[in-house]
Amino acid sequence: MSLISTEQRRIGPFEVGPVGFGCWRFTNDRVDEAAAILNAALDLGINLIDCADVYGYDWGGQGFGENEAILGRIISADPSLRARMVLATKGGIRPPLPYNSGREYLTGAVHDSLKRLSVDRVDIFMIHRPDMYTHPEELAGTLTALREAGKVAEFGVSNYAAHQSDALQRFLDFPLVTDQMEYSITHLDPMRNGVLDRCMREGVTPMPWSPLGGGALATGKGLNADLVAKMDELADRESVSRAAIAVAFVLAHPSRAVPLLGSQSPDRLAEQAAAVTVSLDREDVYALIQLSEGQALP
């Protein structure tokens, strides 16, 4: 029996497809090209669109806020797109300062994001990385005020340890609904460090980032040859690409995650979205884990 759950996911009032589209690498001088990529994702049923205010700062971008601004230009040119997407963004990183979740900063950051995105409200806002110098009670107050002001519908965290999420949740009157973590065949920590367990305990939707390990699981570059051979065997068996097997592995976890695809190629997005057609059983996923870790599980 396949472990992969292909149904739509409920995130608060929103329904999203089993894979999402990430805008980290969305930097593009040509707004029409960027719009074509976004439309390709939406046409594939990929309606969760994940951005962050810091996207554009690296990965070939010109600066902070750039990728939100590109999305905003696309939405302004075709406002009908807004209703087709569940729009998520993140804040709390302001280079060169690593993290700031202080009330004044974060409130301003959300307002700035809304302006760049040309929207009145985002559907999901996530704290990009934990700021160890903001008390969770202060942060909870900031999020509550943003929700009451109608600026954000639902909140989540990103790169939080499970106990950090618990500390924030303790001061909130509404549930955190999403959690972003690095999770893939080559980054298995969340299976064991409590992050995915907490998501299942609390009914939080995980949004694993870099499901292809940033591309390595598609190219095979830097991976052990036995792991690549196993992925290729499964890809042949399932008539999909190696990359789709990597995405399917993330979908197989019982937390009903929504992996965020980072490709900027419509063809590759389609190829990877085919992960939902894949059937993986325990034998398959444990083989991949053991080959990735280079040793047998105890």
Ligand X SMILES: NC(=O)c1ccc[n+]([C@@H]2O[C@H](COP(=O)([O-])OP(=O)(O)OC[C@H]3O[C@@H](n4cnc5c(N)ncnc54)[C@H](OP(=O)(O)O)[C@@H]3O)[C@@H](O)[C@H]2O)c1
Q: Which of 101, 113, 178, 264 binds ligand X (CB under 6 A)?
A: 264
Burial 130-166 (b: 16+ CB within 10 A, else e): bbeebebeebbebbeebbeeebbbbbbbbbbebebbb
Q: Which of 102, 136, 156, 211 binds ligand X (CB under 6 A)?
A: 211
Could you tell me how many helices (H) and strands (E) the chain has, helices first?
A: 13, 10
Q: Does 91 help bind ligand X (rule: CB under 6 A)?
A: no
Q: Which of 50, 53, 179, 284 binds ligand X (CB under 6 A)?
A: 50
Secondary structure of residue 76 in the 3-state scheme: helix
Show contacts of 26-30: CB within 8 Å, 24+ apart. 26/51, 26/55, 26/67, 26/70, 26/71, 26/264, 27/55, 27/56, 27/59, 27/60, 27/61, 27/62, 27/66, 27/67, 27/70, 28/70, 28/264
Q: Does 158 help bind ligand X (rule: CB under 6 A)?
A: yes
Q: Does 122 help bind ligand X (rule: CB under 6 A)?
A: no
Q: Does 218 help bind ligand X (rule: CB under 6 A)?
A: yes
Closest CA to 179 of 130, 236, 229: 130
Q: Does 23 help bind ligand X (rule: CB under 6 A)?
A: yes
> Which of these is catalytic: 55, 57, 99, 160?
55
Nearer to ligand X, 70 or 212 (CB): 212
Q: How far is the CB of 159 from ligand X (least distance, A)?
A: 5
Q: Does 17 help bind ligand X (rule: CB under 6 A)?
A: no
Q: Which of 219, 224, 279, 290 binds ligand X (CB under 6 A)?
A: 219
Q: Is 55 a catalytic residue?
A: yes
Binding positions for ligand X, rule: CB under 6 A:
22-25, 50, 158-159, 180, 209-215, 218-219, 243, 260-265, 268
Residues taking part in catalysis: 55
